[in-house]
């Protein structure tokens, strides 16, 4: 275990910079950082391309929080020099500027160039795979962590699976722990508004499914085999089935989350020599499930054509979000069932508004973990939350009100 902050702390003006702070989720993230118990331990700046909006946001943040100084940095995704100058001032850069396929790569490149840790909210598999192909070796050599999917995609699922694996290993005991095959299934339930950023990212990814598959094959061919690839980690074959324990239907959930859990399992020995993960959404009523499947299929089809894709993108503005009252009524719950060597464990991760409130909390706590916590896993490069922060982040989230428990 090494300090994640040791390699990039000297000479930086700020511990954390929030890029995209004038947007809805970016502002929520900055607000959380200013109200965090760690607020007095960090120097914070907010960044974006519009100086007048930044200044207005800065003034509002300081007035609402009553906390100390917040600085501003003008930076634009289309101006690489400004991104390098911003990243060079930070120990950790948070970005909420998406879709990441469109805007994300230059900032990651700037963070690798300047030796700066990076966290984002992406749920776009193509973006994550492209970063792994382009920057894994350079980021690992500089001992920095490029960590994607630090919101509802995919922290509850990634860290929930890690928590479940820990519980299985406690049941197995030291003689069998991490030596036997394991299976974990995650079952998601949520009530809340889909974030505009998530919607735009999903439509962008759907429109590129064929291109992504071609690129993925080429990246794997060029990349070759890495040490982590040798451990058997797999995602279950999709299936639709009735789960009596939940009185609901389990439907395969085609998100980035299984990919993230799989990558964490490959990076950590606790998951055993052979690890399998299944990921589902729980739906109680069969008509609602059928309607959801048809609706999702229709969105995928419509995203393939420019005219209908543009119409879909206009449906939700990525810079806006629901009222505080609506966010307070939102919630999520992820059940996990783990099995190893005939032993079973049932765990649960619960929290509030998944699309905005808890997502901004998870993102902010991820940045605080990289900036302040000393005992993090020695996994560097383009890594997952579970591989790059693991138990330190899990403990932070528990203190912040996201509940991990064994049922």
Residue 5 has a pLDDT of 42
Rounded Cα distance between 321 and 102, Å, is: 21
Rounded Cα distance between 379 and 143, Å, is: 8
User: Token pair for residue 86?
Assistant: 């911003």
Residue 337 has a pLDDT of 96
Kind and range of the H or E element at 341?
none
Residue written as token pair 């100390």: 68
Residue 245's alpha-carbon distances to 154, 155, 236, 301, 335, in angstroms, are 24, 24, 20, 34, 11
Closest listed residue to residue 227, CA positions, set 258, 268, 257:
268
Contacts of 162 (CB under 8 A, 6+ apart): 264, 268, 270, 386, 390, 391, 394
Residue-by-residue DSSP string for 138-188:
HHHHTT-EEE---BTTBHHHHHHHHHHHHHHHHHH-TTTTTTS-EEEEEEE
User: Token pair for residue 272?
Assistant: 């055993």
Helix residue ranges per DSSP H, 268-356:
286-302, 306-314, 324-328
Residue 195 has a pLDDT of 67
Q: What residues are paired with 191 via a beta bridge?
A: 331
pLDDT tens, N- to C-terminus, the chain (407 residues)? 444 443 456 689 999 999 999 999 999 999 999 999 999 999 999 999 999 999 999 999 988 877 668 999 999 999 999 999 999 999 999 999 988 999 999 999 999 999 999 999 999 999 999 999 999 999 999 999 999 999 999 999 999 999 999 999 999 998 888 889 999 999 999 987 766 767 777 787 778 878 888 888 888 778 766 655 556 788 888 889 999 889 999 998 888 999 999 999 999 999 999 999 999 999 988 888 888 878 878 877 888 888 888 887 787 776 666 677 777 888 999 999 999 999 999 999 999 999 889 999 999 999 999 999 999 999 999 999 999 999 999 999 999 999 999 99
Please state whether beta strands 274-283 and 232-235 pair in parallel, antiparallel, or not at all (unpaired).
parallel
- Computed from CA positions of residues 58, 121, 87, 110, in that sequence, does the dihedral angle turn out positive or negative? negative
DSSP class of residue 239 equals -
Closest listed residue to residue 374, CA positions, set 11, 119, 116, 2:
2
Go through 79-114 and write b for each residue having 16 or more CB atoms within 10 A of its CB, e for each that does not: eeebbbebbbbbbbbbbbbbbbbebbbbbbbbbbbb
CA 232 to chain centre: 23
User: Token pair for residue 316?
Assistant: 């939700």
Kind and range of the H or E element at 361?
helix 357-372
Residue 183 has a pLDDT of 96
């Amino acid at each position: 275990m090494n300090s994640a902050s040791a390699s990039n702390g000297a000479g930086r003006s700020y511990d954390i910079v929030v890029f995209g702070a004038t947007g809805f989720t970016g502002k929520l993230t900055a607000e959380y950082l200013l109200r965090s118990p760690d607020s007095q331990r960090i120097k914070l700046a907010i960044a974006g391309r519009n100086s007048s909006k930044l200044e207005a946001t800065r003034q509002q943040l300081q007035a609402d929080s009553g906390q100390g100084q917040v600085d501003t940095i003008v930076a634009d995704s289309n101006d690489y020099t400004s991104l390098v100058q911003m990243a060079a001032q930070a120990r950790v850069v948070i970005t909420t500027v998406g879709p990441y396929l469109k805007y994300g790569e230059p900032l990651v490149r700037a963070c690798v160039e300047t030796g700066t840790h990076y966290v984002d909210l992406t749920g776009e598999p193509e973006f994550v795979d492209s970063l792994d192909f382009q920057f894994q070796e350079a980021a690992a050599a500089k001992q920095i962590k490029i960590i994607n999917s630090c919101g509802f995609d995919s922290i509850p699922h990634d860290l929930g699976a890690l928590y479940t694996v820990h519980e299985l290993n406690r049941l197995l005991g030291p003689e069998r722990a991490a030596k036997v095959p394991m299976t974990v299934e995650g079952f998601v339930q949520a009530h809340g508004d889909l974030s505009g950023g998530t919607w735009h990212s999903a439509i962008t990814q759907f429109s590129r499914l064929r291109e992504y598959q071609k690129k993925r094959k080429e990246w794997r061919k060029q990349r070759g085999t890495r040490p982590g690839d040798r451990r058997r980690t797999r995602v279950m074959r999709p299936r639709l089935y009735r789960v009596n324990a939940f009185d609901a239907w389990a439907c395969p959930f085609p998100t980035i989350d299984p990919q993230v859990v799989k990558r964490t399992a490959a990076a950590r020995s606790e998951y055993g020599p052979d690890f399998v993960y299944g990921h589902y959404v729980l739906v109680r009523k069969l008509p609602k499930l059928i309607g959801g499947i048809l609706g999702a299929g229709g969105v995928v089809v419509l995203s393939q054509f420019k005219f209908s894709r543009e119409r879909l993108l206009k449906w939700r503005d990525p810079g806006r979000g629901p009222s505080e009252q609506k966010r307070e009524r939102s919630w999520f719950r992820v059940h996990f069932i783990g099995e190893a060597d005939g032993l079973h464990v049932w765990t649960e991760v619960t929290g509030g508004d998944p699309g905005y409130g808890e997502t901004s909390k998870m993102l902010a706590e991820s940045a605080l973990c990289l900036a302040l916590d000393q005992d993090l896993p020695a996994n560097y490069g383009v890594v997952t939350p579970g591989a790059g922060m693991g138990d330190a982040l899990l403990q932070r989230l528990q203190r912040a009100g996201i509940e991990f428990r064994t049922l």
